[in-house]
Amino acid sequence: MFFRWDWLRPVLTAPIVPTLGPVHPDALTVDIFEDTLRAAITGDFLPYDKDRRWGGEKDEKVLRNDVVHQREHTLIPTLTRRGRGTVKVFAYSLHDSVVEEAAELAAKLAAAHGMVNAGVVRPLGPETTHPRGTRIQLKDFTAGPCPDPAGPVRPVTDWPTAVQETFSPFARAMAADGLAFLHARMQAGQCGPVLAAVVEDRIVGAIGPMEVRPDPIGRPQLMPQYFAVLPDTRGQGLGRLLWRAAMRWGQSQDAAYQLLQTEVDGPSDRLCQAEGLTPLGFTHTTPV
């Protein structure tokens, strides 16, 4: 093994793993970090990688030869060639001073690999005051029932054909939230159900795809979804209806939990906090 768990575990202030994203705290083991190193050689998706469902090749990989692993801190750089190329260094430490060393490493590796962008990803614990960036939250389906939200939300394919046809302009309007990508997958039959909210025979919000897959320790996890509501229909509770319908769907499919990442103080973040999700920590990315 490359990683020493007695060094790494104490500095894992939030359950975030390079190239994989958040993982359930119970699944946070040294084996996952070792798996990311092996995947960097093969270029394959790990069996429990959330991006595997989209097919193709894994774009982001760990720069295994540049990992810094010490008792007080661990720096794990990753590279993605998407866009103009990015190097990110995940900086695990209990001390803020790690950011400076991580920034130097990120800049050095970006230059060496010809990448335009570089940044430092700093995981922070749930007790962090005045957090910025992204909040990691847990929805535990074993904690209690998810009631039927009883609103104008159902799978896209369950709406009349004329209503289904309004998904295309909705997806174009919300392309920045990933809905155009999702629509392309839907048309290709390459994803699970998508739930849609309808007002006056027009799709104005959606969440999906709805899929459950095993996590690193074999427990069924509701996978992350794209989630958007048209700006001119916000404030009517449609986002909450969509989210609750998605949670009910996940529980009905025997998912044990879902992990969510929300922009701190954004609409989805406030919704999840109001719904009583468990905060697991934060990640803050600093451009270099």
> pLDDT truncated to tens, each residue of the chain (288 aa)?
899 999 999 999 999 999 999 999 999 999 999 999 999 999 899 999 999 988 888 999 999 999 999 999 999 999 999 889 999 999 999 999 999 999 999 999 999 999 999 999 999 999 999 999 999 999 999 999 999 998 999 999 999 999 999 999 999 999 999 999 999 999 998 899 999 999 999 999 999 999 999 999 999 999 999 999 999 999 899 999 999 999 999 999 999 999 999 999 998 899 999 999 999 999 999 999
The confidence score (pLDDT) of residue 150 equals 87
Phi and psi at residue 112, to the nearest 5°: -65, -35
The confidence score (pLDDT) of residue 57 equals 84
The confidence score (pLDDT) of residue 233 equals 94
Whether residues 116 and 163 fall in one domain:
no
Is 92 a member of any domain? Answer: yes
Is 193 a member of any domain? Answer: yes
Whether residues 124 and 153 fall in one domain:
no
Whether residues 199 and 245 fall in one domain:
yes
Number of domains composing the chain: 2
Whether residues 159 and 237 fall in one domain:
yes
Whether residues 13 and 127 fall in one domain:
yes
The confidence score (pLDDT) of residue 1 equals 80
Taking each continuous run of H as one helix and of E as one strand, the counts in the chain are: 8, 16
The whole domain housing 20 covers 5-131
Is 73 a member of any domain? Answer: yes
At residue 60's C-alpha, the angle toward residues 105 and 246, to 5°, is 125
Q: How far is CA 39 from CA 85, 91, 200, in A?
A: 19, 20, 48
Name the 3-class secondary structure at 76. strand
The CATH number linked to 203 is 3.40.630.30
CA pair distance 14, 28, nearest whole angstrom: 10
Whether residues 113 and 179 fall in one domain:
no
Whether residues 191 and 244 fall in one domain:
yes
Sheet strands (E) in the chain: 16-17, 21-22, 61-62, 68-69, 73-80, 86-93, 117-124, 134-140, 153-155, 195-199, 202-208, 212-214, 220-222, 226-229, 257-263, 278-287
Is 243 a member of any domain? Answer: yes
Whether residues 98 and 151 fall in one domain:
no
Whether residues 230 and 153 fall in one domain:
yes
200: alpha, beta or left? (left if phi > 0; alpha if psi -120 to 50): left
The confidence score (pLDDT) of residue 156 equals 97
Is 49 a member of any domain? Answer: yes
Final residue of a domain: which of 131, 159, 178? 131
In the 8-state DSSP scheme, what is residue 154? Answer: E
Whether residues 118 and 166 fall in one domain:
no
Is 137 a member of any domain? Answer: no
Whether residues 96 and 214 fall in one domain:
no
Picking from 120, 61, 124, the residue whose alpha carbon sits closest to that of residue 91 is: 120
Whether residues 40 and 123 fall in one domain:
yes
CA pair distance 82, 98, nearest whole angstrom: 27
Q: Are 84 and 116 in contact (CB under 8 A)?
A: yes
Is 268 a member of any domain? Answer: no
- 253 beta partners: none
State yes or no: cis peptide before 160, omega within 30 of 0: no
